[in-house]
Amino acid sequence: MAKKTIIPIGPYHPLQEEPEFFKLHVEGEKVVGLDIELGYNHRGIEKLSESKTFEQTVFLVERICGICSTSHPIACVQAIEDAGDIEVPERALYIRSVIGELERIHSHLLWLGLAGHFLGFNTVWMWVWRYREDVLDIMELITGNRNHYAMMKPGGVHRDIKNEDIPTIKKMCDGLKKPLALFRDAVIDDPVIHARLKGVGVLSRQQIIDYGALGPTARASGVAIDVRRDHPHAAYDRIDWDVIITQNGDVFDKTVVRILEMFESVKIIYQCIEKLKTVTGPYNSNPKEIKPGDGIGHYEAPRGEVIHYIRSDGTNRPARHKVRAPSFMNIVTDREAVLGESVADASIILAAVDPCYCCTERMAAVDSRTGRQVLTSAELLRLSREKTEKLKKEIGAPGPQLDLGA
């Protein structure tokens, strides 16, 4: 393969006065505070939902986030099913888990690549995203689209997974095992990664509980919550898999949790597709109405629990639809995680809770006394990569090496 020059990705905004998502207050090298400004992505989805039918709103919420694009639909249809006491056929439960776990793999691979990029390991980024393409190919085979799968429907799923596609899905998962093992070994044992990420951006157990933090962010601090196990839904209580927990709560642990979760996802997919060979029957119960009442649906998205609350008034539209993505709870913890850390580590700490990709683009550092901007996003990333280079030299190691062949 020809050598490539990787260009730093944007968008970076060198405008001095621009309001940023993450405004770090710094004193010299140290972060002393964090302002978080939301609103750049607020599209008024809850209000829009009130003008959609129950089936239409599933397509709406799918587009809340392109990366967790099946998580919101799963939580949404489960909320509708909870409100209306709707049965879901068994085959649909396995299909939901297959789609959900494929999404988890591609989301964690995405994050791993971005983390590599933030740290200055662009080979990691390119290799990890190359394998992500295989997952997206399977999504396209099963659902017709690489992203935004339009699979979920109140009462089941829109489309079946054809039994003749199962060998292809299995082959793709087989093909992931070696690269996943290589990513795991390259990252988890690497001394430069250790030096860069261990002890950085630590969140304690109590902080996680106080902030209601979720997903790998919580599990990395020893808080053993996972909606798939704690509130079983889809097929998660019909198959065998483990929740990944670590104890140190630093960025390294958050990385480890995500990598190891992908192995569990592969395990779940194998079992579900095996079951699909024998669990026949409908894949949708085709409910005709949702009786009045309240429904709550939640699902373990790659970033943590997604929860939807729906109030049905007996019509075919939600009277109220509350949506809460996991990042809403997780991002707040950043104000604790960056405190006292160095600016060079700020970008990877903010990225560690795996917020929306576009959230992490907009960081800036201001002098805590004068309020004047001193570092842009681009500069924060540059400092991060420089720190990696410095550590590589000090330790005398090259960083994660990935030798995956041609």
Partner 1 sequence: MTREEVLAKIEQSLSDKTVEIFKKSDRRTYIEVKPEDIPEASRFIFRDIGARFQIASGIDTPTGFEILYHWALDAYNHIVTIKTKLDKEKPEIDSIAPVCVAAEWIEREMWELLGITFRNHPDMRRLLLIDDWPEGVYPLRRDYSTGGEYKKEKE
Partner 2 sequence: MLTKSLNVFHLAGSPCNNCDIEILDVLTPRYDAERFGLVLVGSIRHADVILLSGAFNKKSAIRAREVYKQAAKPVVVIAVGSCACTGNIFRHSYNIDEPVGNYIPVDAYLPGCPPKPEAMLAAVVKLIAKLRGEK
When asked if residue 3 is in the footprint of partner 2 (CB under 8 A), the reply is no
CA dist 334 and 278 (Å) reads: 46
* Residue 63 in contact with partner 2, rule: CB under 8 A: yes
Q: How far is the CB of 245 from partner 2 (least distance, A)?
A: 28
User: Binding segment for partner 2 among 6-14, 176-184, 239-247, 292-300 (CB under 8 A)?
Assistant: 6-14
In the complex, least distance from residue 328 CB atom to partner 2, rounded to whole angstroms: 15
Q: Judged by CB under 8 A, does residue 357 bind partner 2? A: yes
Angle at 185 between CA 184 and CA 190, to 5 degrees: 110
Binding status of residue 209 toward partner 2 by CB under 8 A? no
Q: Least distance (Å) from partner 2 to the CB of residue 10?
A: 4
Q: How far is the CB of 144 from partner 2 (least distance, A)?
A: 11
The site for partner 2, by CB under 8 A, has a size of 44
Q: Residue 305 binds which one of partner 2, partner 1, none, with CB within 5 to 8 A depending on kind?
A: partner 1
- Own/partner pairs, 41-47, CB within 8 angstroms, 24+ separation: 41/356, 41/358, 41/359, 45/323, 46/320, 46/321, 46/322, 46/323
Residues found near partner 1 in the complex (CB under 8 A): 38-39, 42, 44, 46-48, 51, 82, 85, 209-212, 225, 230-232, 293-294, 296, 298, 305, 307, 309, 311, 319-320, 322, 324, 328-329, 332
How far is 138 from 161, CA to CA, in rounded Å?
A: 11
Of 28, 66, 292, 340, the one binding partner 2 by CB under 8 A: 66
> With CB cut-offs between 5 and 8 Å by kind, which of partner 2, partner 1, none does residue 171 bind?
none
Give the one residue of 32, 33, 36, 59 binding partner 2; rule: CB under 8 A. 59
- Quick check: 72 and 96 in contact, CB under 8 A? no
Pairing of strands 156-157, 318-324: unpaired
State which residue, 123 or 207, has the beta carbon closest to partner 1.
207
Give alpha helix (H) positions in 303-356: 326-330, 334-337, 343-352
Nearer to partner 2, 319 or 358 (CB): 358
Residue with tokens 């709406």: 60
Whole-angstrom distance, CA of residue 127 vs CA of residue 129: 5
- Give the C-alpha separation, 253 to 200, whole Å: 10
Rule CB under 8 A: choose which of 378, 395, 397, 402 binds partner 2.
Answer: 378
Chain centroid offset of residue 8 CA: 22
Six-digit token string for 304: 């943590």
CB atoms within 10 A of CB 247: 12
Residue 320 makes contact with partner 2 by CB under 8 A: no
> How far is C-alpha 220 from the chain's CA centre?
14
Contact positions toward partner 2, by CB under 8 A? 1, 4, 7-15, 18-19, 39-45, 47-48, 51, 59-60, 63-67, 69, 110, 126, 129-130, 133, 146-148, 356-358, 361, 378
